[in-house]
Amino acid sequence: MKERLQELETEALGKVEKSGTIDELKQVRVEYLGKKGPITEVLRGMGKLSKEERPVIGQLANDVREKISDAIDEKQTKLEDEALEEQLKEESIDVTLPGRPVQVGGPHLLTSIIEEIEDLFLGMGFEIKEGPEVETDYYNFEALNLPKGHPARDMQDTFYITEELLMRTHTSPVQARTMGQKNGTEPVKMICPGKVYRRDTDDATHSHQFTQIEGLLVDENVRMSDLKGVLQTFAQKMFGAEREIRLRPSFFPFTEPSVEMDISCKMCGGEGCSVCKGTGWIEILGAGMVHPNVLEMAGYDSEKYSGFAFGMGPERIAMLKHGIDDIRHFYTNDVRFLSQYHKA
């Protein structure tokens, strides 16, 4: 029996050495170490041995089994390593080849314009405030000197949700809300950028949804000359130091007096051309001194406090600054158009 175990060991180790695949190794394991293998048969015949021989043969059988198992494991590890190395060679990547370019996006032109305007006014000490796009009739109209039935409401066709809720038609409600939070006792110096909605027919210069930035300054002894200084700084920073401005009388229900601001045409330098329709000037925004009624409704004493407000459309600023002729380009998501301004 001892000689038989030694023969099985030699035979099994030889087959392990010759095995060239994992499957062949599995067959060797089953053949020699399985339940029906020769080593198991030897162990079953140990009952015929004397008490003295049993432990010797048992120990030998275990040693043979362990040697064969270790040899199979070692051979399997070797074959797996060789297979992995071969696979890596077949799947290797030539890092010397040029890489595939990845298209990198950039901020939307309107986002860039809004951020540029925000940075400019932050530099002048203004805060940035935001408010809800779904607004109440009170803050959108009544708090801005536009009571129900006021004829000036016809100027803004509105998306109503209920009789008292609507999609805001301007960002002015943020001004009214901010003044109300101050309880009429603190100065206000803010701008409020955001989306607004009007029932306009979409064309080259109109959209049912667009962006707006409005500004407000309320304090003691605020004058029209302060408004002009702020607007002139804005115009020259946005369109060039050589730009001139002019203020024309206008009407807005929430300001009195009210003005429209024009800038000198950068295409002709004020001489007159097709861009400015021969006038030498281009309308850019509306502004004025805050109406006393608006101040009083927000809790301010209009005899003590005064202020100015202004409003502009980032779309119009972008169109003038970059020579864009159709507002719809901003919203149709044509990457060919938008990618031109990633570094604007």
Binding-site members for Mg(2+) are: 256
Phi, psi of 63, rounded to the nearest 5 degrees: -65, -45
In this structure, the chain runs to a length of 344
User: For residue 209, what are the β-bridge partners?
Assistant: 197
Distance CA 12, CA 28 (A): 7
**Cβ distance 235 to 245 under 8 Å?**
yes
Percent helix, percent strand, percent coil in the chain, to nearest 5:
45, 20, 35
Q: Contacts for 103-109 with beta carbons within 8 Å, 24 or more apart?
A: 105/342, 106/339, 106/341, 106/342, 106/343, 107/342, 108/330, 108/338, 109/318, 109/322, 109/330, 109/338, 109/341, 109/344
Q: Which residues of 207-222 are buried (b: 16+ CB within 10 A; e: fewer)?
A: beebbbbbbbbbbeeb
Q: Residues at the annotated binding site?
A: 256
Secondary structure class of 162 (helix, strand, coil): coil
The residue with tokens 């003295």 is 52
